[in-house]
Structure formats: C-alpha cells, structure tokens
Amino acid sequence: MLRPLPPSCALLRDLSAGLLHPFTTQVTPFSTFPNLLTRRSTLSIYNIPARLVPLLNKLRATLDSAFLSTGRGFSKLGLTPTSWTFVGLLFALLSALAFGNRGSLWQPLAGLLVLASGFFDIVDGAVARATGRMTKRGAFLDSTLDRLGEVAIYLGIMVGGYSSPEWVLVAITFSLLVSYTRARGEALGIKLSGVGIGERSERLLILAVLSIVGLASYGVLVVAVVAILTFLQRTGTAWMNLSKEVSGRALS
C-alpha cells in the first residue's frame, strides 16, 4: 500500500532547505537570492540540473531530426499545422475528462491521452517546419492552446481527487512560470529555450508515465519539483545575463 504524501507546506519547506543548503537545515532569506544567483558554482539548485541539461539537449537535437521526418509524413495527410494543434488540444481535454473520473481504468487511459496530446503537440511544429509554414500567428496559437490544455489536465486531476489541490496548484503554477520566464526572457533578448530539465514535453512525459502505472499523485509531485527547479534555473540564467548587460553599460 502506498504511503500518503507528506503535507505540501512541510515538504516544500524541507525541499527548499535541502536544495539551498544540502548540509544544513537553515533556510536562506529570499532577500539574498540575487546574490546567490551570481555564485553559480555554489548554488546546488542550479548546478544539479545544469549537469543534466547538455545530455537533454543532445537528446532533443537527436529527436528533432526524427520529428522532422514525422512532420513530412503527417504533412501528406493534408492537414495544416494549426489543425494538428487543435488535435493536440482535443486529446488534452479528453485526458482531463478521463482524470475527472475515478476508477482502475480511467487513470491509465488519462495517461495515454496525455501522451497522445504531447505527441500531436510535436506533430504540429514538425509539420510546420517540414512544409515551411512556420508563422508567428501559428506559434502564438500553439503556445496559447498548450497552456490551455495543460491547465485542463491538472484541473481534471484535481476534480478526480488524484492529488491534493495544494500540489496541483504548485505544479500548474510553476509549469506556467517556466513558460512565462522563457517568453519574457526571450522578449528581452535572452535565449532560454533548452535551459532546465522541465520543459513542457518532459513534464507531460513524467505525468503520463506515472499516470499509466497508477501513480498520478506522484506524477504531480515530481512535475512540481522539476518545474520549480527549471523556473529557478531560468530565472538565474536571465538574472545573470541581464546583470552582465548592466555591468557592460556601466563600464562603457
């Protein structure tokens, strides 16, 4: 029998203490966060995920070529990239409905539907690249509907009672913040794509696999932790790059 998850507030407190100070239980005041970000070599929440990022980026680059071939195949069906975007959203909404039900079969089915949603989210971009139909309008719609589908999935998990509302709130909040930091950073000229171990595809994969084996509650927990780490890493990367720009202007 699975042990119940610890209370969210207590676990978040212990997690933050352990990540920021692996050898002590003292919690660093938030006011010192900007200074910690400049000490990249001593910030464990930054260095641990950072060691995994090159491996993930190599895997992502390898998969990109495979996805391009997939895009060429799906482009022969005659559907536009936008059509595949809506197909991905449809599967996300179906997974939310499946999560909203209790039963031995609903949770694995919901996990499979999450996988399908993530797959078609890849297909739309692959078709756009394969056919040369990449547009700003399509990118905006794709990103917006991705967020909508992600929120729907977590609402389904909460309605179905597979995880506590507190953990669902943490997972979806930091998942959205991961996307926001990338969008805001790139608007300021800082490339954050590929920074961190918890981009949307990884988060959906974690949630889907654990849901398929009947562990959606732990899937939400793992997604929350991974999203928090990625958010902190992207914030740190953006902060350091912006600080360099400020220092460069001051010297000039």
- Return the active site residues: 146
Q: DSSP of 64-81, one letter per residue?
A: HHHHHHHHHHHHTTT--H
Q: What is the secondary structure of 183-204 as a DSSP string?
A: HHHHHTT---TT-SS--HHHHH
Within 150-249, strands assigned E span: none
Query: CA end-to-end span of the chain, whole Å?
Result: 64
Q: At 215, list the tokens.
A: 């562990």
For residue 203, report the phi and psi dihedrals to the nearest 5 degrees. -65, -45
CB-based contacts of 241-250 (< 8 A; 24+ apart in sequence) = 241/190, 242/188, 242/190, 243/38
Q: Where on the phi/psi map is residue 28: left (φ > 0), alpha (ψ -120 to 50), or beta?
A: beta
Among 232, 136, 238, CA closest to 188: 238
